[in-house]
Amino acid sequence: MEIGLIELSRLQFAMTAMYHFLFVPLTLGLSILVAIMETVYVMTNRPIWRQMTKFWGTLFGINFVLGVATGITMEFQFGMNWSYYSHYVGDIFGAPLAIEGLMAFFLEATFVGLFFFGWDKLSKVQHLVVAWLVAIGSNFSALWILIANGWMQNPVGAEFNPDTMRMEMTSFFDVVFNEVAQAKFVHTVSAGYVTAAVFVLGVSALYLIQDRHKDLARRSIAVASSFGLAAALSVVVLGDESGYSASHTQKMKLAAIEAMWETEPAPAHFTLVGFPDQEARETHYAVHIPWAMGLIGTRSLTEEIPGINDLVTEAEERIRRGIIAYDALMTIRETRGNVPDEARAVFEQNSDDLGFAFLLKRYVVDPRTATGAQIAQAAEDTIPRVFPLFWAFRFMVALGFSFIAVMAYFFYRASFRNMQFPRWSLYAAVAIIPTPWIAAELGWFVAEFGRQPWTVDGVLPTAMSASHLSIADLLITLAGFILFYTVLFVIEVRLMVKYIRKGPFQDVEETDAWQARHEARLRQTPGAPSPSASPLSTPAE
Amino acid sequence: MILHEMIDYDTLRVIWWALLGVLLIGFALTDGFDMGAGALLPFVAKTDTERRVVINTVGPVWEGNQVWFILGGGAIFAAWPPLYAVSFSGFYLAMFVVLAAFIVRPVAFKYRSKRDDATWRARWDWALFAGGAVPALIFGVAVGNVLLGVPFYLTDDLMPMYDGSFYGKFLGLLRPFAILAGVVSFSMLLMHGAAWLTLKTEGPIAERARRIGAVAGMTAAGGYALAGLWLAVGIDGFALVNDVVPAGPSNPLFSEVSREGSWLTAYWLRPWIIVAPVMGFVGIALAVMGLRAGREVSTLLWSKMAITGIIASVGLTMFPFILPSTVAPDSSLTVWDASSSHQTLFIMLVCALIFMPLILAYTSWVYKVLWGKVTEADVNENADTLY
């Protein structure tokens, strides 16, 4: 198989997936923030909250549509570009994707139209229910997608069937409650909540700097910072959970992220910074924190975390067992209808390592004919590129911790300093708007690049997964996607900027009518504070 | 888990074959009128307000409708993985064009009226037209190619490969019979879009839609009849040679297939399937009469019946074949050898039985809330918030 084709297929998938994930996190978080704002509106009946719902809802809509549009590519790209992958694991991987459509995507897409066009056609409570259904649908969508992705990282609940030459599901329960998938789900949606919180915070800070829409901005900051603080804490905690599960499910990925070349006596130290050198298999200028890695990775003082060199030796053993499995598989295929019991027994004993024999298909047509050098090379191939993983991971974690600090600060000012924010903090809030997207993309890079050379860890190598298309096919679609997505991106950013400039749509009549009623009510209650005593009770300016 | 053995493997395969049809029909009935209305846009609506009326008839529902397409992809992946793998990579560039249309269409709906600029809006109107017309045509061309057989083969490892003369070459799909099938699907969805606009609009827009829709309906009927005749005399069918094991493992290479006779022998073996083409012709006839007479609800229902009949007739005619291969007939995918495992089919059936009724219920509710015509007055009053 030509390497050029695999690389182009990977490039196209990486590009379309990362582009799709520019829109997803904001959809996940903003759908919930908007639903929270509308809940406050329905509970308090204050028009400012309706105005906030509509304003952030408009920005949500501009973003949502591109999430939907780019998601379509994802649903079909497995079949288009990764046809062997689709055949080989579709029996397991397809199910969560289909359930996502049935359970989640239908819900959010059907109700999102009603959210925008149903204000006059529905009662307040009905409209609120619609807003929550959109939010729930979006978040359930993420659940099923991450169950599918979690299975690629930790393929549980499935076994190879020699008759159909593919993996088949043995336990749906195991696939759904895969520990990797569950940790990834909460980590990913929390990242989405942080993204939306930073976005709302930044846009609101801009309004405060420009001295306009201040009531909307202050309330939005209050909602965003409390929601964002909880989410930022959750991202870091669940990121740690992902690391813990990786220490026993994806040992090579963990070792590569940490540039742990050798197995060290427990508890291992954590390398804070350094320059990993893949050729020499060592990390130059490393700064260590004693014990930390052992504690994070194993939550014990005695358990060892295997280093890269030991894992390569283990991979070589698995390749040799994989060749035995492959040989038995060929016997089973040739003697169909009359398979010797012995071949079945040999196959079943070694079938867990079949995928490792496929690593040799890059070098030989029939893995059984591989030389010792080729086997050693294939074992070496199981190490992902360490340097980019090491640094991408560290940037992501640093951003994650900084979000906690930002959210905590704004939460403190909003709750205990009467919503007064120093000017420097507002400028900072605007400046950091892009950072959660960077953190999210780095996170996906670590998860997917760190799984190489596999599409399904230990089961199917990437080099075997792609469709047999021509380079020309790939170049045409790659160019098409780049052109198309760039144009759409420019248009969407321009529209976002336009609608942020334009500011919230003012329900003037309703606001006045409400204020009159509200003041009348207050007059009937002696000693009640005037409506503008606290910033949270002021109606729209 | 023993639970899945409550239903036989072969029964589950037939159920999922039928559900595949339900999804394709669901997609054609809902997203079909979006595509039809999009393709009609430049012809039924002349002024900006008229165009906004047409766009806003589908504005609140296209997102939900498009999910039928996405769910179709997901369900094929889950229930028919070999079909998912072979068809989407085999029709690679055609799929890319369809994706491009389905990416640009949502964006066009959402962004078109967000700027008050004639050039901007004219560009998006063009995108809405192409986003509706192009997929409507390509889906038919693809179905035509499936009936003719597709030049793919499977290696011993079940890796899908494609014959050089076909794969990667978009133009290779444009065989005469496939183009005829494209015309049928395009005109059928045009008629459906016209029936929708008859129900949801009034005045000159509805009148123009009815005129064009009637012509489109008659074209669809003529093309459909011609395609049937062509299948009877000019195109070889496919047949399973050896005794099939309907509950056997999903490995297409285990069965032997020959090219002989005609697809239409299916009507001799299972005479009851004649119901499908009859539904197609009667549905079109009644829909065309309804369009001419200006009936609203009933016209849309007849149009739905026509589409259901036409799509069902393709599946029923080919049964048990799903994707036949011309270059290596033994690689052909059939209901008996291209499905997921017994357990996966069972789990997916349970999910479908839980969620499909819910989906139908809330979708109906949304359509009920949005019931009524979209008028020029509506658009003018809500110029800022509507599409």
How do residues A393-417 score in pLDDT, each as one tens digit?
999 999 999 999 999 999 999 988 8
Tell me: do A92 and A190 sit in the same domain.
Answer: yes
- Please report which confidence band the pLDDT of residue A296 belongs to, taking 50, 70 and 90 as the band edges: confident
Residue of chain A with shortest Cα separation from B253: A164
C-alpha torsion sign, points A172, A175, A176, A177:
positive
Q: Measured between beta carbons, which residues in chain B are less than 8 angstroms from residue A469?
A: 89, 92, 167-168
Pairing of the two strands B321-323 and B333-334: antiparallel
Interface check A4 vs B, CB under 8 A: no
Domain that holds residue A94: 3-250+385-502
In the predicted structure, residue A460 carries a pLDDT above the cut 70:
yes
With beta carbons less than 8 A apart as the criterion, state whether A167 and A160 touch: yes
Where is the domain boundary, A324, A359, A380?
A: A380
Q: What integer is the mean pLDDT of A298-312?
A: 86
How wide is the angle at C-alpha A68 spanned by C-alphas B38 and B31, nearest 5°? 35
| Residue bearing tokens 């939306």 | A196
pLDDT at B377: 85
Q: What integer is the mean pLDDT of A434-459?
A: 94
Tell me: do A352 and A328 sit in the same domain.
Answer: yes
Residue A500 CB contacts under 8 Å (≥ 6 apart), including other chains: A59, A203, A206
Q: What integer is the mean pLDDT of A463-476?
A: 90
Tell me: do A407 and A455 sit in the same domain.
Answer: yes
Tell me: do A317 and A244 sit in the same domain.
Answer: no
Q: Measured between beta carbons, which residues in chain A are less than 8 angstroms from residue B124?
A: none
Q: What integer is the mean pLDDT of B252-267?
A: 90
Q: Does A129 map to a domain? A: yes
Mean pLDDT of all residues in chain A?
A: 88
Where is the domain boundary, A359, A380, A401?
A: A380
Interface check B353 vs A, CB under 8 A: no
Q: Does A541 map to a domain? A: no
Interface check A80 vs B, CB under 8 A: yes
pLDDT at A2: 46
Contact check, Cβ <8 Å, B85/A97: no
Q: What integer is the mean pLDDT of A149-156?
A: 94
Coil, helix or strand at residue B363: helix
Tell me: do A323 and A351 sit in the same domain.
Answer: yes
> Which residues are paired to A284 by β-bridges?
A275
pLDDT at B190: 96
pLDDT at A532: 43
Residue from the list B106, B160, B168 with its beta carbon closest to the beta carbon of A83: B160
Q: Measure the CA–CA gap between B72 and A165, rounded to whole angstroms.
A: 25
Where is the domain boundary, A380, A411, A439?
A: A380
Q: What integer is the mean pLDDT of B122-143?
A: 94
Residue of chain A with shortest Cα separation from B109: A65
Residue of chain B with shortest Cα separation from A165: B157
Tell me: do A327 and A392 sit in the same domain.
Answer: no
Q: Does A294 map to a domain? A: no
Q: Tell me which residue of B292, B217, B276 sits closest to B40, measured CA to CA.
A: B217
In the predicted structure, residue B166 carries a pLDDT above the cut 70:
no
* Of A305 and A315, the one with more pLDDT: A315
Q: Measure the CA–CA gap between B295 and B289, rounded to whole angstroms.
A: 9
Q: What integer is the mean pLDDT of A457-463?
A: 94
- Please report which confidence band the pLDDT of residue A513 belongs to, taking 50, 70 and 90 as the band edges: low
pLDDT one-digit tens code per residue, B105-126: 888 988 888 888 889 999 999 9
Interface check B92 vs A, CB under 8 A: yes
Tell me: do A314 and A327 sit in the same domain.
Answer: yes
Q: Measure the CA–CA gap between B35 and B192, rounded to whole angstroms.
A: 9
Radius of gyration of chain B (CA): 21
Tell me: do A91 and A51 sit in the same domain.
Answer: yes
Helix (H) or strand (E) run with residue A412 in it: helix A386-416
pLDDT one-digit tens code per residue, B95-107: 999 999 998 888 8
Residue B169 CB contacts under 8 Å (≥ 6 apart), including other chains: B93
Contact check, Cβ <8 Å, B71/A80: no
Residue from the list A92, A166, A484 with its beta carbon closest to the beta carbon of B103: A484
pLDDT one-digit tens code per residue, A44-70: 988 899 999 999 999 999 999 889 889
- Number of domains chain A is built from: 2
With beta carbons less than 8 A apart as the criterion, state whether B94 and B141 touch: yes
Contact check, Cβ <8 Å, B366/A102: no
Tell me: do A244 and A322 sit in the same domain.
Answer: no
Cis peptide before A453 (omega within 30 of 0): yes
- Please report which confidence band the pLDDT of residue A511 belongs to, taking 50, 70 and 90 as the band edges: low
The pair of three-digit structure tokens given for residue A193, joined into one six-digit string: 């909540």
Residue A195 CB contacts under 8 Å (≥ 6 apart), including other chains: A25, A26, A28, A29, A436, A437, A440
pLDDT at A541: 34
Q: Does A292 map to a domain? A: no
Q: What integer is the mean pLDDT of A216-235?
A: 93
pLDDT at B376: 86
With beta carbons less than 8 A apart as the criterion, state whether B143 and B177 touch: no
Q: Does A536 map to a domain? A: no
Residue of A54, A80, A361 to mutate, testing the B interface (most B Cβ within 10 Å of its Cβ): A80
pLDDT at A539: 40
Tell me: do A195 and A211 sit in the same domain.
Answer: yes
In the predicted structure, residue A510 carries a pLDDT above the cut 70:
no
The amino acid sitting at A355 is G
pLDDT at A525: 56
pLDDT one-digit tens code per residue, A328-379: 999 999 888 888 888 899 999 999 999 999 999 999 999 999 999 999 999 9
Tell me: do A344 and A414 sit in the same domain.
Answer: no
Interface check B1 vs A, CB under 8 A: yes
Q: Measure the CA–CA gap between A484 and A474, rounded to whole angstroms.
A: 15
With beta carbons less than 8 A apart as the criterion, state whether B69 and B105 touch: no
CA atoms within 13 A on the CB side of A446: 26
The Cα of A268 is separated from the nearest Cα of chain B by a number of Å equal to: 41
Q: Does A47 map to a domain? A: yes
In the predicted structure, residue B205 carries a pLDDT above the cut 90:
yes
Q: Does A291 map to a domain? A: no
Q: Chains A and B: how many Cβ contacts under 8 Å?
A: 244
Q: Does A122 map to a domain? A: yes
Tell me: do A228 and A370 sit in the same domain.
Answer: no
- Please report which confidence band the pLDDT of residue A528 belongs to, taking 50, 70 and 90 as the band edges: very low
Q: Measure the CA–CA gap between A412 and B39, rounded to whole angstroms.
A: 55
